[in-house]
Structures are given as structure tokens and as C-alpha cells.
Amino acid sequence: MNLTEVFRSFQNMKVAIIGDVMVDAYLKGKVHRMSPEAPVPVLLLNKEENRLGGAANVALNLKALGAQTYLCSVIGKDHAGETLIDLLKDAGIHNHEILFDEQRKTTVKTRVLSGTQHVLRIDQEDLHSLESSMEDALIKAVKHRMDEGLDALIFEDYNKGVLTQRVITELVSYANEKGIKTTVDPKNDNFLSYKHVSLFKPNLKELIEGLAVSIDVVTRPESLAEAAKKLREVLNHDLTLITLSEHGIFVESEASWKKISAHVREITDVSGAGDTVIAVATLCLIANLEPEQIAAIANLAGGMVCEHSGVVSVDSNALLLEANKLS
């Protein structure tokens, strides 16, 4: 298949995302003076905006690429939770596997912006792990979705408590039994819990902290390969993608490894770039592209969304246009 056919095939793919969802809220305006009450800026507010964040942003990216998308998570029974459900409905994302827990609050990250400059971020969240009854309900819901037919299950971990050790282990095992690909965007708490998955995508900081290793991307790129080998020995997974920020992306399979440089861009905001990378990489994996192709296209996509302010999803047509230039 050429890349046009590959991108067209995304429309036939069914992908579920399980993980921490959140509302990304924005207070936008202009700082015009310092407060006389304390040494802090005064922002003249002119716009408020709510967007989907976390695992929900992965779902947005998948939807933008044409895939049939299912979101599985647990949120609070609160106003922010209602806002999130409304945003999902507006985006056309299937949310039947979103469960409500009266013991949790829905995560909201509020960013205060003066123009494109971040002034402050305010987080509202609960970080405790799910109670066993909620684990039961979530596992049951996701297994049902897998029984209905999926090509891949993405684990989007933001350390907010939805992805517990039990949830991870049971769902990876069930997916593997059914031949469903599993891809992971990890965080530190469960970093080494994702054994036997299809694709594991940490960023450089997460890899260094998760394995307690030293890596020098510039002078010793082979140190990435050494860390990836160590990771493989622990997780016994199929493919590693490591996002390297301005240094690009690293891909490693059992047979080979390669570091791909970043493309020169006007970076405005890196928020949500990792969400885009895991979404694109998952669809390319389902399409059976070679590891280096998967990494190259995901690397492009992650860079493209960084050119925009705030958390945004990738433009499928623009990505295809740039990806074709690589070949």
C-alpha cells in the first residue's frame, strides 16, 4: 500500500483508549499591568475555552485521522464531568465506556494565557487509585468493547489513578488473547507494569526515570539503544518508540534501532504532542508499516501539533502531504 491507501485504511480501524481523561480549560487575555496588592500580573480576560485533554485528546486525534474511536475511563459525577461528556458528544466520540465515580473529581487543567504566553496553570484532580468495585466495572466495560471488535487498545497513563496494576494486567492479557494490538503512553508509577504489549512509547525523561539510567542523546545516541534493550528485557514487548523533544524520535525493535531527527518548526506549544504521537503510531502499527515508517510519520505528526497554541489534534490531510515528502 502507498501512504494514501494507508491513510484511507485508517477509516476501517476500530481503536479504544483507556486512561485518564481531563478537561483542558483556557483563560485567555492580556497582561496589562502588575497588581498593586501583590507582585503578580493582572490579566484582562477576554476568552474562556474548554477542550478535551489526556486520553480524550488521543481519541480526538484518532477521530481526526478517520478511525472509529471508543473512549474508556472513569470521571467524577460533577460539573466538570458533564462538561467533558458534552465535549465528547460534540466531537462525535463514543463514550459508553465512560464511568462515573462519586468518590472522584473530574480532572481539570486550567491554563492562564497572555497571548500565547503561559502565565499560570491550575490543576483540579484526584490522584488516588480506583476502588476495586470501579476496577471491576471498568475492566468489564473494556472487555465488552474488545468482544465487540477492536484493532487496538491504547493505554494513556497520566498517573491520575484510572490505570491500576490490576486494570493494566487484566486488559493487556485479554487483548493479547484476542489478537488485539496494545500500545502504551506511560507515566512513572506504572512504568514497568506494561509487560507483553505491542508498542511502548515513553518520552526521554520518563525512560531515564523509569529505568534509572543515564542517556546522552547528542554525544552517545547508542545509549538510547542500550536503554531500549534494558527495557525490552523487563517488559518483553514488541516495539519501542522514545520521543526526544527537539532531538526527534527513537525507534527500536528486536532486530534494529534508529534515531530520527526532528523537523525544523516554529514551536508554539508542546502540550498534547505525545497524545498525537501515540494515536498516529497506533494506526500505523495496525496498518503493518515498518517500525522506521511508524516512527517517521509519528515524529512528523508530533511536530505539526506543536506549531499551534494549546492542545490540538493533527490535521490528517496535512500529515499525509508531509509524510509523502519523506518517501
DSSP, collapsed to helix, strand or coil, labels residue 40 as coil
| 65-159-79 Cα angle (round to 5) | 75
Active-site residue, 275 included: yes
Cβ neighbours of residue 133 closer than 8 Å, sequence gap 6 or more: none
Question: Out of 101, 151, 185, 275, which one is annotated catalytic?
Answer: 275
The length of the chain in residues reads 327
- Is residue 96 classed exposed, middle or buried when 0-12, 13-18 and 19+ CB atoms within 10 A define those classes? exposed
CA distances for 147 relative to 175, 243, 286, 326, angstroms: 10, 32, 18, 38
Tally: H helices and E strands in the chain: 10, 13
**Are β-strands 21-34 and 41-54 bridged in parallel, bridged antiparallel, or unpaired?**
antiparallel
Enzyme catalytic residues: 275
